[in-house]
Amino acid sequence: MSDSTKTPRSDGQATLEALLAEDRAFPPPPKFAAEANVSDPAIYQRAADDLEGFWADQARKLDWFEPWQTVLEWNLPFAKWFVGGKLNVSYNCLDRHVKAGQGDRVAFYWEGEPGDRKTITYAQLLDDVQRCANALKELGVRRGDRVTIYMPMIPELPTAMLACARIGAPHNVVFGGFSADALADRIDDSQSKIVITADGGFRRGKAAALKPQVDEAVARTGIVDTVIVARRTGEPVNMVDGRDLWWDDIVPRQAADCPPEAMDSEDMLYLLYTSGTTAKPKGILHTTGGYLTGMATTHRDVFDIKDDDIYWAAADIGWVTGHSYIVYGPLANGATGLMYEGTPDYPDPGRWWEIIERYKVTILYCAPTAIRAHMKWGPQYAARHDLSSLRLLGTVGEPINPEAWMWYHDHIGHGRCPIVDTWWQTETGMIMITPLPGITTTKPGSATKPFPGVDADIVDADGHSVPLGKAGYLVLRKPWPAMLRGIYGDPERYQATYWSRFPGAYFPGDGAKRDEDGDYWLMGRVDDVMNVSGHRLSTTEIESALVSDPRVAEAAVVGRPDELTGEAIFSFVILKSGVETTPALGEELRAHVAHKIGAIARPKTVMFTPDLPKTRSGKIMRRLLRDIASGRQLGDTTTLADAGVVETIREASAKSADEE
Ligand code: PRX
């Protein structure tokens, strides 16, 4: 089903040309630079000259129960960092701050969508985590056991993650927007016997239930023996005797004393499933010492975090951004963070700006999609609030168009705040290409430079480095401490997916270009992965969901450029003979995909077509389909089995109806 990694896509090329016409540049404001955590550009040379020494210096800022013997063991593509060292992530995120007299410091300001609020100090979070850890132990969870967590954005979510880290049980957080089927796959693959969930969460003013999906998923997998349910919405919930327990019945009665396990630096901290180019999601495996070192370092240096900052990563903990930059990085640095449960436009599009004013947020980190949504709603909402506390802005998850960058800079940052456009992935664990806000001159749309110690390059199809100004494939040549250690249970897939396209280098699947200053401009995925609203989705996974409907014979899914969501899901569907094409059927198929994977995967467009363009060897030609979906001129069609197919599809395309 894949024609991946041919050339960086033509839509990326067009975007890139527009981006490179961009000549605005913003040096760090002098006051910001003078006070920044990192202000000496020598950091780049230092890290390049002595990679291991650089990272060892960073790792020493954490508390280790036992020191490491070797900084790095690198047997390409398998890395081990801080070998022999022992530490505990929850100890580093909580105990050491409390021991240093910081127990009363706020770890999280939490705000629920209905407007309820909580302030959680480091001392309190440590208590909660220890009680939760003891509850897990009472339920038989042992070091090494995987725990699946499927929760809304409530304080119990980071509590549960840190409790797992405390007892050495890797967590597997599944985003609450995923369906029962998607949850079941992730429970199965990770072999979790326990699930932590909630009755539901609030979204757009309504209670959105989670427990029914858990019931359905657990019935399907047959391996879960315990479900812990936190109370959030108060809606009625079906509790299964002998299997389901209320959080409130088991956690609060535990002792608030649970000694942290001394974990090996290379012990698994968590699994996080992400979409690849096949129908089966990959369990990305992150370990302990290197990961936490990467998080603490990048969070401190990229976000310039200071004691008096109020830091808000407006993301969901169910994705890697939340793992790394809501939970582990900020807590490792003893920062004060903000967690918000709901949507940005409830009860109206001023909600974020009201939150920033109320808590005097100083650093905001969000996805370009959210910025584009705010642009659409209009700057009047932000203008009604005092945003003068903000001093630094960040973006993540997808390329940011210069227009959105400038809007963010002008209407939110009031021209005063540097913007860090951070490129990274679930697999990289930490930010990899980014400005350092006290050093880097930023340009709207460019993620600028690799983080110190990150050895990035851009290569052509044969793996040769391309000159400045030319587009190609982004690769990373040296290991970094937070890198994934593998795909859970599938070392061959790890090697094949990331390390075989360009021998000796990690291939993240992105196209990119460097400008004359050596600044990086990311151009989007070059494989069968889409990026919709900063969420990563596999075309193949959606195709599988479509063909699981008995009326569908074949399906092909591509991303189409979309002003708001970056890319939108466009699906071509061939029905089985005798099945009638109706608008209702299109709607049913869209709902079917949402049911199979989750609402985020619901195609925006379903186009019924009599055939699909294929190469002589039978591969679907996605490049052509992308051209058709976005209404562009067709490229070379000579490898088509039947060039007439394209015309047929094109005609059908003119008739296809968008859902709006
Ligand atoms: O294509 C890149 C895009 O998001 C992909 C990673 O997705 P995921 O693992 O879900 O992690 C998202 C949050 C880190 C990348 O391969 N991407 C991420 N950040 C940027 C980006 N593309 C351009 N610019 C970025 N700043």
pLDDT digits 0-9 by tens, 175-191: 999 999 999 999 999 99
Instruction: Report the length, in residues, of the chain.
Output: 660
- Contact between 341 and 370 (Cβ < 8 Å): no
pLDDT score for 13:
52
Computed over every residue of the chain, the mean pLDDT equals: 93
- Contact between 529 and 539 (Cβ < 8 Å): yes
State the alpha helices, DSSP H only, in 421-521. Answer: 491-499
Q: Ligand 1 centre and the CA of 597: distance in Å? A: 20
**The model's pTM:** 0.93
How confident is residue 336, by pLDDT bands cut at 50, 70 and 90?
very high
How confident is residue 651, by pLDDT bands cut at 50, 70 and 90?
confident
Rounded CA separation 443/518 (Å): 12
pLDDT score for 60:
98
Q: What would the pLDDT profile of 423-459 be if each residue is shown by its tens digit?
A: 999 999 999 999 999 999 999 999 999 999 999 999 9
Q: What would the pLDDT profile of 61-93 be if each residue is shown by its tens digit?
A: 999 999 999 999 999 999 999 999 999 999 999
Atom of ligand 1 nearest to the CA of 536: 10
Q: What would the pLDDT profile of 2-17 be if each residue is shown by its tens digit?
A: 333 434 444 455 555 5
Where are the extended beta strands (E) located within 151-199? Answer: 171-173, 194-198
pLDDT score for 263:
98
Rounded CA separation 428/432 (Å): 7
Taken in order of first residue, the domains within the chain and their CATH numbers are: 537-659 (3.30.300.30)
Token duo for residue 271: 């699994």
Which of 206, 262, 303, 238 is CA-nearest to residue 92? 262
Atom of ligand 1 nearest to the CA of 422: 26
How confident is residue 513, by pLDDT bands cut at 50, 70 and 90?
very high
Interacting residues of 176 by C-beta distance below 8 A, sequence separation 6+: 150, 151, 152, 201, 208, 210, 316, 318
Which of 372, 609, 538, 368 is CA-nearest to residue 1? 538
Q: Ligand 1 pocket: which of 536, 539, 600 to mutate (most atoms <8 Å of CB)?
A: 536
Which of 67, 127, 66, 60 is CA-nearest to residue 95? 127
Atom of ligand 1 nearest to the CA of 525: 1
Residue list, ligand 1 pocket, CB within 6 Å: 274, 320-321, 396-399, 421-426, 447, 508-510, 522, 525, 531, 536
pLDDT tops 50 at residue 660: no
- Contact between 122 and 101 (Cβ < 8 Å): no
Residues 150, 156, 160, 161, Cα dihedral to 10°:
80
Q: Ligand 1 centre and the CA of 134: distance in Å? A: 36
